[in-house]
Amino acid sequence: MSCLFCKIIEGSIPSTPVFQDEVCYAFADIHPQAPVHVLVAPRQHITSVDQAVEDDQKLLGHLLWAGAQIAKTKGLWKGYRLVVNTGEDGGQTVDHLHVHLVGGRSLTWPPG
Ligand code: AMP
Ligand code: ZN
């Protein structure tokens, strides 16, 4: 198994845990782009949202739900962003599906 995030989820590569349950594992991004930058990844290896199948719909919703719960625990009452970079043009660099929770500062739009 060569997937970086699978190794983080199984614990063979260290990470800073933020939230976890039977479906997902959330941990601090190693290169934070904002005061709060957390990655929410499914325990199951799915390469990207583009590779998700019909049976993954509940899992996909769970990742967003978890991101919103973490935002509450981090006090992001002014708002935040949940982002799923997908594929080369989408800027995805780790091929294990994850949702970025970014917040704690005013975020600009559109993204680069
Ligand atoms: P993406 O570019 O959307 O695929 O996001 C991958 C994210 O993983 C980037 O924000 C990286 O900073 C982050 N990252 C890479 N390696 C690690 C690691 N070992 N621990 C935590 N975050 C990581
Ligand atoms: Zn993986």
What is the tens place of the pLDDT at every residue in 89-100?
999 999 999 999
Give the SS3 label for residue 61. helix
Mutate to test the pocket of ligand 1, among 3, 13, 30, 46 (most ligand atoms within 8 A of CB): 30
pTM of the model: 0.98
In this structure, are residues 52 and 91 in contact, taking their beta carbons and an 8 Å threshold? no
**What pLDDT, on a 0 to 100 scale, did the predictor assign at position 53?**
98
Q: Enumerate residues with CB within 5 Å of ligand 2 (an ion).
A: 3, 5-6, 45, 96
C-alpha 39/C-alpha 47 separation (Å) is: 15
Low-confidence stretches of the chain (pLDDT < 50) are none
**What pLDDT, on a 0 to 100 scale, did the predictor assign at position 61?**
98
